[in-house]
Amino acid sequence: MGPIFRLLISPASAALCLFCASCGIFSPRPVEYPTPTIVDDPFNFASILANTGKKFTKLEYADLFADDCAYIDVNGNTFGKEDIRNHLVAVQRELTIDAATWKKDTANPDNLFILDTILVNRTYDVSAQNPLHQTYEFADKASFTLVFNSTKNAWTITEWKDKYSGYSIFHPWFSPN
């Protein structure tokens, strides 16, 4: 037991435990008392889960897209969460989204895995216009892999495959300029 005793009283271990226990580094910061907020959803992402028995409870892009979310275009180019978020914010700045609909892709049924993963296939139709009233129309198919984030207690998008050939309005390389 001699070596075990030395381990237990090892000054380094003791200092580390004392440090971690005493300085509150594992304690959260004070939280402000909540106020109600309304989340804008111009691309109507909420309807992706329509008729599946599930719903997005957090539609802000920071929560809607998982941290490891990937947008994959028809050529296999892959973009991360920040690229998707920044692009959607930019598009909303430059264009007015007139309508966005997501419907079940009747040719490709959803794969519903109960509990925490869903693969859904959708057709989309998005119309938008710029300040000069030039209109943009995008319609094609997309498939989403959705995972329930247990930490956030919300459904999140982890993979978004866009079948649009070229740059759809969702493509981070799309620019209306």
Binding region for other proteins (CB under 8 A): 3-4, 6-7, 10, 12-13, 16, 20, 25-37, 52-53, 57-58, 60, 62, 74-78, 82-83, 85-87, 89-91, 93-94, 107-115, 140-141, 150-153, 163, 165-166, 172-175, 177
Kindly compute the dihedral angle of the four CA atoms of residues 101, 147, 121, 68, in this order, to the nearest 10 degrees: 80
- Please state the closest distance from residue 44 (CB atom) to other proteins, in A: 21
Looking at the Cβ atoms of 89 and 99, the one nearer to other proteins is 89
User: Helix, strand, coil proportions of the chain in percent (round to 5)?
Assistant: 25, 35, 45
Closest approach of other proteins to the CB of residue 48, in Å: 15
User: Considering the complex, what minimum distance in angstroms separates the CB of residue 151 from other proteins?
Assistant: 5
**Which of residues 108 and 127 has its CB atom nearest to other proteins in the complex?**
108
Task: List C-alpha distances in Å: 163 to 12, 50, 85, 110, 140.
Answer: 57, 21, 19, 16, 6
Report how far residue 45's alpha carbon sits from residue 102's, in angstroms, rounded to the nearest whole number: 8
